[in-house]
Structure 1
């Protein structure tokens, strides 16, 4: 069974109003926040990390670990179909693999092959690219507490 993520287009002007300058620069211009400055680097509450642009669930606190790299690190994604991977040659001496949200194409960070078992992956993600929902917030939403999704994005037809 193939899991396709519905693509959305985002209004850049709306995003500039909704996101902080750093969040916009990271997600739309592939910038990187300074190491050890992001709010989720040392955050270990149980819950889900979503794309800050389109609110798609991407990472679970169950796969988050302290890699010492200065950014939130995860050893897996919730669903491989929710991200896309791209060759990043922006630093010619150091070719990397960029991680983007498959739904809205927002830049998240990079993935490296030096993580813990069983995946050996280290998804090194900018705090500025994600938003956290606690397990309590998720349970409240699931029990009729209202939707926690607010995308400000428009669905794009699948091709």
Structure 2
């Protein structure tokens, strides 16, 4: 059950990094490029980045199933490998059509920026490190769960 919850958390973290992180990067980039810098947009984008960083940090350091970090790390690293092998194919995965909602397009453009600058590769490696820890795969050992047999009085053992 713990690994199923870890899988679901991993999907949420993947969506947060790609969707929320991409949107925040695009908003920050757009507010800096504006002629009068829009400080409110910048603060909102920085707050979104901080929230996503907090989620990634909690999942990385927490005692959740390692699938919570394995799923997003594999998505980010696989997309980076596809980008390294075939740039056009990797960039074609980003929704950029006019029929797509503007928020999704902003998230896509921000994800493109993170992909082309190597940020997704960095996050993928950071999220993969907890998977290598053997203690993350085993269940925490509680003293209350221990059941041991008591020896009867007069026993030789």
Instruction: Kindly indicate which of the two structures has a greater share of residues assigned to helix.
Output: 2
Larger Rg: 2
Instruction: Kindly indicate which of the two structures has a greater share of residues assigned to strand.
Output: 1
